[in-house]
Amino acid sequence: MIPVFIGATLLIYAMVFLIPGDPIQALAGDKPLSPAVADQLRERYHLDRPFIVQYLLYLKGIFTLDFGTSFSGQPVRDVLARAFPVTIRLAFMAIVIEAAFGIFFGVIAGLRKGKAFDATLLVLSLFIIAVPVFVIGFLAQFFLGVRWGIAPVTVGADASFSRLLVPAIVLGLVSFAYVLRLTRTSVAENKDADHVRTATAKGLSRRRVVVVHILRNSLIPVVTFLGADLGALMAGAIVTEGIFNINGVGGTIYQAVIRGEAPTVVSFVTVLVVVFLVANLLVDLLYAALDPRIRYA
Amino acid sequence: MKFHRVTALTAFALSGALVLSACSSTSDGGSGMVTANGSEPQNPLIPTNTNENGGGRIVDRLFAGLESYDARGNLQHEVAQSIETTDSKSFAIKIKPDWTFTDGTPVTAKSFVDAWNYGALSTNAQLQSSFFEPIVGYDEVAAGPPTAQTMSGLKIVDDTTFTVDLKQPTADFRLRLGFTPFYPLPEVAFLDMAAFGERPVGNGPYEFADGDAWQHNVKLDLVPNPDYRGNRSPNNGGLSFVFYSSLDTAYSDLQAGNLDVLDTVPESALSTFRSDLGDRALEAPTAQNAQIGIPGNLPHFAGPEGGLRRQALSRAIDRGQITQQIFQGLRTPARDFTASSLPGFNANLPGVRALEYDAGVAKSLWAQADALSPWSGRFEIAYNSDGGHQAWVDAAANSIRNTLGIDAVGAPYPTFKQIRTEITNRTIGSAFRSGWQGDYPSILEFLEPQFVTGAGSNDEDYSNPAFDDLVRGAEAATDEDESFALAGQAQEILLLDLPVLPLWDYITAAGHSEAVSDVQISWNGLPMYEAIKKS
């Protein structure tokens, strides 16, 4: 864990440091900044020190839970505390929706492989994957929000579960399509397996055969995908967050990169790395629960 | 079948949740509160440290300065009772005696002088410190490290009177006195400036709402200040600035009625906003322009050859066509180096033909320049890709290419930060997108910082002593008309030299919802917030 942490932070810090352009100049915009003031600001944000000194100062701060200060005077700790809960809520909802519906429809499609239902779902999922997420997002916002008024247009201040519903659906749509296809293929493959034939021959109910015997084995690729998807959703929700005005991680990192604020970018990315590691750990543990053939000694 | 029942159940639950969430979708922000768009202030809300309009629009509501500007940019006394000068060099300022800050302390001459000294002192690292440059004693205070803590040109006479001495006659200084860095600060600010920046105490038309008024990155609520006694009394019950990261989202909210006032219609909606909003669409010229800067040291662009090439390029850009096609008429072709909405603007200066499209004259001027020294290579216009400039830069380059037959292209830089750094370090090596936004409504404010020899924003390193003399004369003029006339003569020189190629002046496209009325866009592109009425 520690080497990953140090490696990730050092790498990201170096990358932000190497972005061309002077952040202090950018703060002043088109207007002149007196050299004395510019020097003062550089000193305040340690931008006049060599790279490795800046990095070590940042690491020292982390041990006292001081993640640095952004250029606007906000402690990064506060920025983190505000942005992460919203994005976690959004990503969590997206995962739950995409998992529930993806697995549900994937099972039906897999069981009826080759029939009309299956073909329809395949075409639909292909369509969803092909259309860019911002197109779907804007269309959803316009029709559901502006035209028909059945969903809030933007999220803004009140990031409650009900208001995050449409953004979560939009965010999870592409992953829903993948989960659907993965489940479908897995189920179609597993339904002809030996243990399933045995279970049916033994007289178990159809319901039990599908849920306990077929689904459990088919879920392994799906769960792997969902674990990777959680990290991708959290970091990559920037487009959806912009469309629905959600104050989450994506938009904050984007602004910080544009301004060249290394402490903010590194702090956010570090937390994302940790989230990613934890998610994958959970996925690994789930394998043992799902497939009895996998055991951890 | 079982599956169908489950599907139906889920569909029902989902639609139920949607309906429930839609019920809470209209955010009013409180009775009579006008919701307007904004962006998260980039710095704490200290007047001398606020240099972008996300924070600026909020600071301008919280404070009142010596003067205020009306919608057209004309000055009116606000806190000042009288500002007297005989030579535009020494000012005697008397303020009205009964103004207070929202914490009850009185607004005195010391409130102003202490605030201005704080802003100028280099160790405070205030971004707007250079606006105090004309005051005697600024250089000592702004040096790094400072050799004085206060400017000697500011003297407090008594509680309601102070004097300002400038280094040289600067008629423009009077026009600055309504601008953000010149607001007064209460004593409590100097005890803990960082905390003050989070929750300022001011003397303006609005104050922070109770409780958690500023939710970072989300919104900021203001309520009317009952102790305010100036020109801008609020007609509404408060302002709720909602911070949007994308203007497209803000426009969607405007259409749905969740947002009351939007001061910038996004580019994607420019062709439809007039029909979408009908008579709720607003258009007003603002004090902002766009230019193409050509560095003085660029090969082929110095001396007589350079003069001919600049004239040719300026006549090769079809400004009328670009403003109509790309901007849907929301820009007006430039007629000078300032902006059409400013007092004293003259659209017919001698030499203004240089800014009109004329293919024949352009070609012949370019040929004359080639006779002096043949042209080689390509003409590049650098711009930052994150600012939405690609369309017009490409159009301008195409216009040049089609008229003069040379290779002209746009050269994108990924971020504003990058291109700004290269311009400041003089390493840009090509022409570049440039422009000016007026901080206060003054022609000289457009000309001085950009074109006077050695000035702070003179990115092209342009130098012409005759121009400098005329600008100095305009500053020393005691009569406004004389000042405008001298500024016009100075611009005639610019129209011959063309250090930059003026392109167009901005027209703000804005809109409001049905719930509000009396929305007027002022000279700086922002609405007159205090005048907005909410039914």
Q: Which of B130, B194, B421 sits opposite A73 (nearest CB)?
A: B194
Mention every residue, 6+ apart, whose C-beta is less than 8 A from residue B183: B47, B59, B63, B64, B65, B115, B202
Q: Which of B215, B417, B456 sits opposite A25 (nearest CB)?
A: B417
Q: How far is CA A104 from CA A96, A182, A193, A196, in A?
A: 12, 12, 20, 19
Among A10-14, A62-66, B455-459, the minimum mean pLDDT is found in: A62-66
DSSP string for residues in A12-62: HHHHHHHSSS-HHHHHHTTS---HHHHHHHHHHTTTTS-HHHHHHHHHHHH
- Comparing CA positions, the residue from A45, A95, A17, A59 lying closest to residue A270 is A59
Residue A83, chain B, CB below 8 Å: the answer is: yes
CA–CA min distance A70, chain B (Å): 10
- pLDDT tens for B133-151 read 899 999 999 888 899 999 9
Yes or no, beta carbons of B420 and A241 under 8 Å apart: no
Yes or no, beta carbons of B420 and A166 under 8 Å apart: no
* Helix (H) and strand (E) counts in chain B: 17, 20
- pLDDT tens for B44-74 read 899 999 888 889 999 999 999 999 998 888 8
- Cα A229 to chain centroid distance, Å, stands at 6
**Which residues of chain B from 136 to 165 reach within 8 Å of chain A, CB to CB?**
142-144, 146
CA–CA min distance A134, chain B (Å): 12
Within 8 A of A258 by CB-CB distance, chain B residues are 386, 415-417
Residue B248, chain A, CB below 8 Å: the answer is: yes
Residue B5 has a pLDDT of 54
Find the mean pLDDT for residues A120-137. 91
Residue B308 has a pLDDT of 94
Residue B27 has a pLDDT of 45
Residue B12 has a pLDDT of 53
Residue A147 has a pLDDT of 86
Residue B189 has a pLDDT of 94
pTM passes above 0.90: no
Residue A272 has a pLDDT of 84
Yes or no, beta carbons of A162 and B242 under 8 Å apart: no
CA–CA min distance B39, chain A (Å): 12
Residue B6, chain A, CB below 8 Å: the answer is: yes
Residue B405 has a pLDDT of 92
**Which residues of chain A from 214 to 233 reach within 8 Å of chain B, CB to CB?**
none
- pLDDT tens for A246-263 read 888 888 888 888 777 888
Terminal-to-terminal C-alpha distance of chain B: 54
Which residues of chain B have a pLDDT value below 50? 1-3, 20-29
Residue B22 has a pLDDT of 47
| B95-99, long-range: CB < 8 A, 24+ apart | B95/B66, B95/B160, B95/B161, B96/B160, B96/B229, B97/B159, B97/B160, B98/B229, B99/B64, B99/B203, B99/B229
Residue B28 has a pLDDT of 45
